[in-house]
Amino acid sequence: MDWRTFAGLHGDLYWALLRQRCHSDGLPLDDETLAQQFRVHLHRGIGYLVGDRSLRTITDLVNEAIDVPANVT
């Protein structure tokens, strides 16, 4: 999956936020560092989702993404 497919219409904003975070953390802003930090952030987010015991089905994941309370289906 390329960046445009992943980020969609807001890709420029996400990239700017990633650059700002790297700048704030004192990291270089070269393409290799930005790509590495994006992967770290993505893996951390996936780890949070995997560790969330309330997400048992794809429906649970979608509801979490659109912020639907757990007791409403």
Query: Mind spelling out the 3-state secondary structure of the chain?
Result: CCHHHHHHHHHHHHHHHHHHHHHHCCCCCCHHHHHHHHHHHHHHHHHHHHHCCCCCCHHHHHHHHCCCCCCCC
pTM over 0.85: no
Q: What confidence tier does 52 reach under pLDDT thresholds 50, 70, 90?
A: confident
**Structure tokens of 35?**
């790509």
Q: Do the beta carbons of residue 43 and residue 49 sit within 8 Å?
A: no
pLDDT digits (tens, 9 = 90+) for 14-45: 999 999 999 999 999 999 999 999 999 999 98
Q: What confidence tier does 46 reach under pLDDT thresholds 50, 70, 90?
A: confident
One-letter amino acid identity for 49?
Answer: L
